[in-house]
Amino acid sequence: MKKLFLIVAVALGHLGHAQLTPNSAEIYQGLKKLNVLGSVLYVAAHPDDENTRLLSFYSQEKLFRTGYLSITRGDGGQNLIGDEQGVDLGLIRTQELLSARAIDGAEQFFTRAFDFGYSKNPEETLEKWNREKILSDVVWIIRKFQPDVIITRFPVTGEGGHGHHTASSILANEAFEAAADPKKFPEQLKWFQPWKAKRIAWNSFNFNNNQAPENALKLDVGGFNPVLGKSYGEIASESRSQHKSQGFGVARIRGTAWEYFTITGGEKPNEDLFEDVVYSWKRIPGGARVEKLLDEAIHAFNFVEPAASLPRLANIYKEIQLLKDGYWRNKKLQEVKQLMEQVSGIWIDAFTSHSTVAAGDSMKVNFVVNNRTGARVKLNSINMMGYKTAPVKALAKNNNEIFQQTIFVPADFTPSQPYWLKKEMAAGSFNVDDQELIGKPDAEPAFKVQFNIEFEGLELVIEKHLKYKYTDPVRGELYQPFIVLPPVTLELPAQPVVLVQGMNWKQKFEYVTQKNMDAVSIYSNKKLVLSKDALLKGSRGKFEALFDIASPGGNLPEDHTWLYELQPGTPAYQVQKISYNHIPEISYLKPAVVRNVFVRLKTAGKKIGYIAGAGDKVPGALLQLGYEVTLLDDHELSKNQLKSFDAIISGVRAYNTNEWLNNHYEKLMTYVQEGGNLIVQYNTSNQIGPVRAKIGPYPFNISRTRVSVETAPVTLLDPAHPVFNFPNKITAGDFEGWVQERSIYHAAAVDPAFTSLIRMNDPGEKSDDGSLIVTKYGKGFFTYTGLVFFRQLPAGVPGAYKLMANLIALNAAK
């Protein structure tokens, strides 16, 4: 499921798909948008919190400049399509948001806040995020974007449930005032002046029923756009369905759709959020002439021959240039330039046939320009890293002008890396020193190419990102990000490495030379562990190395970290790769660090059957303990006798994602009854589709109860139970060092046949006994647990490994 992927956006589409030219309907929308000088910023906490229907309406119907500010990248959420968590999940959800914005027409922004997981109150959230730091980010984005109206998804009073939700609105309302105050974050005034939006509103909804909130403004956003051939509900559904990692695919919606707004700051309007906002060219002195030219261009637009608009757009560009420098003047110049490229039909491309290049190596770059419509267009030059082409007097109609050049990448060229991952992060936020990068949704491209092109005698610079282009036999022509790597990268074992007493403690790693090299030296904790030259001499490729990290039978501390360097003081890196078809490929650099966790535990039982769910790293963790793990899908469950397994474990959300599990209920219960051991990790509901999912031998419900504080005290309700004694002694101390949270989706309304084994609660809440329930059924055992093993095992928490080993060993306990 995992492959490769990075992060770069293009003006005409999201990478990972074919590069497309907008059609005449989309160009016409862009032409009409030139006449609208209004903006709206929507603010919420996470990817998928945004109201895509409202964004679609404002962007495609009202033609406002529309933005969505997601305070976080959704790093702490759950993953329905794979096993990525944390930063990796945040990268996936970033790209899903960019795909969504490419559909609904809004722009995307982020702060430096890290999604650290579920929070039950905004106080905890704002403390972990560093309230002032993230407030400064929201202020920065408001000053940069200059919205006329700000809209929040959630209220400040807590009904949104998640602490992040409430905190996002608290920050937005504080920033609404702070952005207008020159005394707040004055260091930002080097780039942008204070900005006062007309008003801020909560996109309100009634939490108890479907009735409209009292005294709320209302707006029907369910209309149909005949130019695009879609209603805003349909566009919104397509946009929302991009959140595939969250399982948010939705049906297309048509018909009247009311949105409600409660004013929380600024001037209160009577009927319309944009009341008293001038969003025509009248807001700019001298704009009347531009508006007249635009009206003429819109009226004369030819859907069959959009290139006929090119002379008019060139005149409009020159007219806007005469206006006083300012926000809307500069924004509209950008839009006109983009439209001139689009209506002309010119094809401009810069690509390589390789996905990466190493610093200090060379790359062959292809440049292609095609004047597909025969418009009055001239290529003056192509510029990239010192390379410059001679001018082409005129571009013949529909003829490919092809240029190829080998370009050297300096040895000190900075490798590609998402800007928010360049520095070590704080506990609840990323660290970004470059103020101008803050808020940007994506990584900066490795290389930019400038095409100097004359449109109707007007010379403009069209900038493109250098991309990797290839043809997939199934998906066809694709574009992916092109990235720069260090000369040598390492491939390290899955993190952390769990070491058990008595195992052979050797550290294995692979190193990849990304270019021809004569010698490689690698150090680990200042100790030379690899020095190769004779075998390398002018070669590149992947090589394996192995060295002892402790003598047999020796002892290691609980956490022992090995830091790899190419030479003392020069860190080595590994490349983390992610790939899914619905987003561009992602690659980013991680420090070459191996964390070894020494776990003192015993195991009983050897063979594990694992039913994968939404995706987690538990099977890999079990392999490190020496278990044999067999993945069980629908086919394997059908043909396998099951009795050979000492335990069968279902992955997170297995009953949510695999409807076919219902078909195997009787077989699984027979397995338990005859002496098997079935361990079910959390599911979000025991209702799947129209039927009730049968999970255990006795009834229980699945609640939304969770313990989000990872340090919450844990009470063992039956310390003598085998779960806490065989083959490892479990005490309260084994719940120390847990990460992000304790448990989610507890069992509730539990049948008396079950034994509840753990009691715990978040501060200020009543205690709950549903995180771990066990029952004997026939000769075997059934367990349901909301304990987040899927987070703790990959994090190398020793107590979680011991507890899982005991659950697996239930049938062997005497």
Q: Torsions phi, psi of 141, nearest 5?
A: -70, -35
The pLDDT value recorded for residue 692 is 55
Lowest mean pLDDT among 175-189, 304-318, 540-554, 654-668: 540-554
The pLDDT value recorded for residue 813 is 75
Residues of the chain above pLDDT 90, percent: 78
**What's the one-letter identity of residue 271?**
E
Distance from C-alpha of 478 to C-alpha of 16, rounded to nearest angstrom:
6
Q: How far is CA 43 from CA 110, 173, 320, in A?
A: 10, 10, 31
The pLDDT value recorded for residue 616 is 86
Q: What is the pLDDT averaged over residues 159-171?
A: 93
**What's the one-letter identity of residue 29?**
Q
Q: How far is CA 717 from CA 18, 55, 720, in A?
A: 58, 50, 9
**Sign (positive or negative) of CA dihedral 712, 718, 721, 727:** positive
Residues of the chain above pLDDT 70, percent: 92
713 contacts 757 by C-beta, under 8 angstroms? no
pLDDT band of 208, cuts 50, 70, 90 = low
pLDDT band of 141, cuts 50, 70, 90 = very high
Torsion of CA 396, 398, 399, 400, to 10 degrees: 130
Residue 237 has pLDDT above 70, yes or no: yes
Q: What is the pTM for the complete model shown?
A: 0.89
Q: What is the mean pLDDT of the chain?
A: 91
Distance from C-alpha of 538 to C-alpha of 519, rounded to nearest angstrom:
9
Q: Which two tokens stand for residue 222?
A: 């369910």
Alpha helices, H only, 219-305? 232-240, 287-300
pLDDT band of 78, cuts 50, 70, 90 = confident
Residue 711 has pLDDT above 80, yes or no: yes
* Cross-strand partners of 511: 490, 543
Give the model confidence (pLDDT) of 665-707 as tens digits. Answer: 999 999 999 999 999 999 987 554 433 578 999 999 999 999 9
Distance from C-alpha of 305 to C-alpha of 293, rounded to nearest angstrom:
19
Give the model confidence (pLDDT) of 554-612 as tens digits. Answer: 555 555 777 888 888 888 999 999 999 999 999 999 999 888 888 889 999 999 999 99
Residue 113 has pLDDT above 50, yes or no: yes
Give the model confidence (pLDDT) of 730-741 as tens digits. Answer: 999 999 999 999
Give the model confidence (pLDDT) of 407-457 as tens digits. Answer: 999 999 999 999 999 999 999 999 999 999 999 999 999 999 999 999 999
Q: What is the pLDDT averaged over residues 261-285?
A: 96
The pLDDT value recorded for residue 9 is 33
